[in-house]
Every structure is written in C-alpha cells, then in structure tokens.
Chain A
Amino acid sequence: MHWCKHFVHYYLITQFVLSIASINCLAQDDRSVKRIDSIIKAAQGRALAMLANIDTVCPSPYWPNIKPSLFLANLRKNILYPTKINQGKATNFCGYAAFTHILLKYQPDTYTRIIISFYKTGKADLYRRTVKPSLRVRDAAGTLKRKGELDVLHADQLWFLTMADTYKGYLNIFDHKYQPGDENTFWAATNYGKFNRMLREFGDYKVKKVGSDMIRPWKKDLFGYLAQQLDSGIVMMYINSKLTHPTKHSFFRLPAPTHFVVLYNLYREGDLIQIQYWDYGLRTEQIITKKRLKKMTFGISTITKK
C-alpha cells in the first residue's frame, strides 16, 4: 500500500512539473497554449473522475454539519469554474481563496484529492506534511451563516476553515483556537509570510517574493517589474483593497495591506494602467494611475516552478 501512495505522489508531482514547466517555458505560441489547455483539461477530467467515486448520500463522520449534496455540488463547481471561488461576505479568507484559485486552475486533481481525503478521513497528506484539522473547525464547517453564497458552499467552508486552522502567523498569535464567528476575526487573518509559506507547503510551489506587511517593495519601475514577473510565472499581489476602490469619503486610510489578488495582465493606456486581476470570484478589470499601483502594492509573490 505504501508503494502505491508513493506512486500517486510521484505521478502528481510529475504532472505538476509538466504543467508549470509548460506554462513557464512554452506559453509563447498557440501550440503551447493548446498544450497547456489540454494538460489542465486532463487534470480536470481526473478530478471529476475522483468525484464520481464518492458516496453521495452518507454524511462524513468527521464533518457532522457538512451536507453531502452541497459538498459535492460545490466541489464540482470549483473544478469546472476555478475562477468562481471566493471568500464569502465578511470573512478574512481572501488569502486562502486567492491561493485556492491558483490550485484549482492549475492542479484541480491535487485539490480534489486533498479535499476528498479531508472529507473521508479527517486528514490529508500534502507534499511536505500531513494536515489534520481540529475538532472545533470540523464541527463548524457547514454551519457558517450570513456569509453570502458561502452559506451553501460546504466544500469551501471545510477548505477555508481547515487552512485557517492549520497555518498560523503572527497575526493569529492571540487567537489560535477557533470560536464561532472567528472567520472574520484575527483567527483567520493572513500575513504575507504565512501566505507564502502556504503557497510553498500546500501547493509545493517555488515562490519568489518582494515586499512585506509594512513596507512596500522597493521597485523604481513597478509596472515593468510586474510585467516581467508575469512573463516568468503566476503573480499574486498583496494589496490595500481600499485603494482598488478609491474614494474621497474618508479623511484617513491606514497604509497597510489588507487583501490578496491574482494578477492576470497589465497594460499601459497613455499615462494610466489597465490592470486585470482575479478578485472575489471574478476576473476584474480597471484603470488606475501609476501612483495608485505603487501605493496599493505591498507584496508581490511569483510562482515559478517546483
């Protein structure tokens, strides 16, 4: 049985290396784009095949409040529409949602394997460690209310609560144990270091990072740097979300990062910049100034390859 587990790991890692390598090195021509699409489609197919083998009626003994029908519908939706995943209303799950979007987009089979393992056995083997969510979060998953669509997305509740329970940073130091309602408190907050650690451990990605929780990245030409990073891999940004929706209603705005997004594209339009990024379950397009881009950006993480 042990050799079987190793074989599965080896197979998944090989697939991952292939997909990332393809994305990085061959994304220049149409043939490569088609190849990437076919690799991702194949991974989606494997993920859906895993779903087909799950008992759709009996609830999991580890997750008493997760409804199998809602769990499976959510899982299917996540595999088929990886962009749609979002953190729900009034939660601090944005970091986990941004990272899961990447995992779903490029490794839907890995995501499905891990979440099914959580559901069936109450724990899962990642690339570098075994994760076992606490009883508190296992009881809480499926009971979150007044979170918008997240109320009925039981797989997302399980996933986000498990990630928040597993990964801890200095922001969570005074609130380690989950209490009902903690999904929008410091218990669920993600600082930049924790976010990068999650990327490395959960997805086994190689991450290049600039910036921090307090000081913006020291880049003279931030637009040029971001464009360059987009050419070399997948770019995630740690930003102040209030600056993506600038208003003059407030006298004071805390100069600190609050949100994680995935950068898709960046274009110059005269003096302005058109930025395209994933945020809250949608591809988002807007025009901002160079100054605003600089002010809102606190961290840039680039996933290159394993």
Chain B
Amino acid sequence: MRNYCIYLLSLMLIALIISCSGSKKNRKSVTYYNDNKTAILELRNLYDSLYSQQPFSVGFTDNTYTYYVMEITTDTVRYIYNTEKSEQQLYHAIERFHYDTTQLRKLATKMKEIKCLWLDKASFYLNEIKDTVTFLSFRSVTIENPFVENKYYVLLFIRRPIDTPLLRSKVKKGDLVKLDELVYFTIGNRFR
C-alpha cells in the first residue's frame, strides 16, 4: 500500500513538472518580446526598409549564430546563399541588388544580439484581399529536451488589426497568443 502511494505521488510530481514546464514555454515568447521590444521594433524597421529594395528572408543556420543565410527573391528566381559555403556569391548578390550594406550589417548585428533565428514575410488572403505578415522566430526548445520534436517560437506582426471568426477560434484554442493588437505568437515545428 505504501509503495503504491509512493508511485502515485511520483506520478503526480512528474505530471506537475510537465505542466509547469509547458506553462513556462508559453510565457517565454511574452518575456522575449517584452525584453526585446525596442530591438525588435528597430529590427523590423530595418527589415522593412531593406525588403522594399528587394524581397528577402534572412536567418542563421547554426546554434552559435555564426553563419547567416539569405534568400533573395525576384519575380522569377530565388537565390539561396549563406556565409558558410557561398559567402562570395552572397556578397555578389547583395551588390547586384543594391542593398544598403550599412543597414544590412545593422540588421545582421541586431539579429545576433536578440538571437533571432529567422526573419521573413508571408502573404495571406482575407476576403480575397492580399495582406502580409512578418515572422520572427527564435529559440528552439530542443536545446532543453533532445527527445522532443523541434519546436520554435514565432512572433507574428500584422499590419492592421484583424478580427475574424477563424482568428478568434485560434486564439481561444491557444494556437495563437495575442500579445497586443498587432502582435501574436505561436509555437511551431518550423522556424522558417
């Protein structure tokens, strides 16, 4: 009987630890966003300015935030270069598309500072009208637990407040967490 109680208590303790770790994960994005709010705003402004020159997405390929990867997109071609294997080609592309290198350097430094894994934009449609959302992903929980499928935190920045039944249900279900009127976060198995 005593053994049975010990087992039961152990199980409850494990369940408690798991549930606490879960809630901690959910809070991480809020903390990250609040801690880096100014830096994120600056990063987004830099990204928007460079993006208007030529659309691209940018991020890191490694956990030490050493190698950058950049995907430059034109109407017909996507160029994928990184500083690990194709540094020269990346510099040529930057030159070819006339990116402001000072701004680009600032963006890269800022991303490294706040340990942002990937920065990108995606389009979506509401009532057949196109809109865009900016994604910023960071930190993988796999570093904490190697046996869990890769999960990434993704902050989503929309351009205008959206109130649709679908969005409301997603927020209600917990798939999306509203941080403020124009910022949401989600946890996904992809960082890009």
Contact = CB atoms under 8 A, between A and B. Distances in A.
Whether A and B are associated in the same complex: the answer reads yes
B123 to A, nearest CB: 6
Contacts, number: 71
B100 interface: no
A282 B86 contact: no
A83 interface: yes
A249 B78 contact: no
B142 A282 contact: no
Contacts of B89: 287
Given A249-B63, A249-B117, A272-B85, A285 B125 contact: no
Interface string B127-166: 0100000000000101000100010100000000000001
Contacts of A174: none
Given A248-B63, A272-B85, A286 B123 contact: no
Given A251-B142, A251-B146, A148 B124 contact: yes
B142 A249 contact: yes
A104 to B, nearest CB: 14
A228 interface: no
B76 A283 contact: yes
A246 B61 contact: yes
Interface in A113-165: 145-146, 148-149, 151-152
B62 interface: yes
Given A287-B89, A289-B85, A282 B77 contact: yes
Contacts of B117: 249
Contacts of A246: 61
B61 A247 contact: yes
Contacts of B61: 246-248
Contact of B62 (A247, A287, A289): A247
A13 interface: no
Given A148-B123, A251-B142, A287-B86, A245 B191 contact: no
A157 to B, nearest CB: 13
Contact of A151 (B76, B77, B125, B152): B125
Contacts of A272: 85-86
Most buried by A among B62, B73, B85: B85
Contacts of B50: none
A13 B150 CA distance: 49
Interface residues of A, number: 28
Contacts of B60: 247
Most buried by B among A148, A247, A289: A247
Contacts of A285: 77-80
A245 B61 CA distance: 8
B85 A283 contact: no
B78 A287 contact: no
B125 A149 contact: yes
State the majority secondary structure of interface residues on A: mixed
Contacts of A250: 140, 142, 150
Nearest to A250: B150
B150 A245 contact: no
Interface string A245-289: 111111100000000000000000000100000011011111111
B75 to A, nearest CB: 9
B81 interface: yes
Contact of A148 (B78, B79, B122): B122
B24 to A, nearest CB: 20
Interface in B91-115: none
A152 B63 contact: no
B44 interface: no
Contacts of A286: 79-81, 86
B192 interface: yes
A146 B124 contact: yes
Given A148-B124, A152-B125, A248-B63, A284 B80 contact: yes
A249 B150 contact: yes
B133 to A, nearest CB: 11
Nearest to B62: A248
Interface in B62-89: 62-63, 69, 73, 76-81, 85-86, 89
A284 B77 contact: yes
A194 interface: no
19 contacts: A146-B124, A151-B125, A152-B128, A247-B60, A248-B63, A249-B63, A249-B140, A249-B142, A250-B140, A272-B86, A279-B78, A280-B78, A282-B78, A284-B77, A284-B80, A286-B79, A286-B80, A286-B81, A287-B85
Interface of A: 70, 83, 89, 145-146, 148-149, 151-152, 244-251, 272, 279-280, 282-289
